[in-house]
Structure 1
Amino acid sequence: MLYKLTPAEAAHNILSTVRALQPETVALAVALDRVLADGITSPIDLPYWDNAAMDGYAVRSSDVLGCCPVKLAVVDRIAAGAFPTKTVGLGQCSRIFTGAPIPEGADSVIRQEDTTELEAGAVQIDDDRDAGQNVRQRGEDIQGGSLVLAAGTQ
């Protein structure tokens, strides 16, 4: 026997037989093709600190802007994964590598291609085009507490 249903009745019959799935927690590796039940916020700023966008020398822009070539004393070497041990003062700089935290006192990274190594402990800055540049600011990509993925994202 055939029954004639209106679209509303058909929808009601179907929806009355299904139930919503409960959210579950799964490992990221098996989350493909799943939908987020809740939004995800970042607990921290990314990057977590001001850091070098390239290899070079962390300087005070006021020491190099309009002064090139200029000789600076190298007071520290900051590898990626290391932290600064000295503050950059007047006439000073720190050798720095991509991703390393910017030392206190510095506000720029002069790319190594625009420098000339001099005697031990000194470098010549040959070009000031990077003054005030090449520093990734704390929270520049993601700010702590901000929504990274919204609920409903697949």
Structure 2
Amino acid sequence: MYAVDVDASLLDELDGRADRQGIDNVVPVHGDARNLTDVLPDSVSTLVVANTFHGVGDQSGLVEQAFRAIEPGGSLIIVNWHDRPRETTTVGTEPRGPPTALRTPPGETEDVVLSAAPFTLDRLVELPPYHYGLVFDR
């Protein structure tokens, strides 16, 4: 399993956690997900974009990269925050997640993906209390 991030410190943290938990199949890859075909050493069967799609400036470009990086028959999964005011998505008493203005409903995320690459929507998955997941097939 590859974990791609531009923040090397997050990859170091992930690597340490995986080691402490005896997980040996995580390969940290320092790079920009907007260039997936350049940073991934191989094509992948499943690509998960979790809690970041809302902040990508060129979402269509990321989707195009994802399509090229995923094997035929594979899946793109986007996990995103529901379009709710940030102050209502709390953990404990603290608001969590991106600013309200960046949150998008599932239909808008679906439209971006389907207009950027020839994926097909497989399903919408509710991920309570604050997230949804969209599963697309290549």
Greater C-alpha radius of gyration: 1
Greater per-residue helix proportion: 2
TM-score, L = length of structure 2: 0.24
Asked which structure has the greater RCO (Cα within 8 Å, sep 6+), the reply is: 1
TM-score, L = length of structure 1: 0.22
Greater per-residue strand proportion: 2
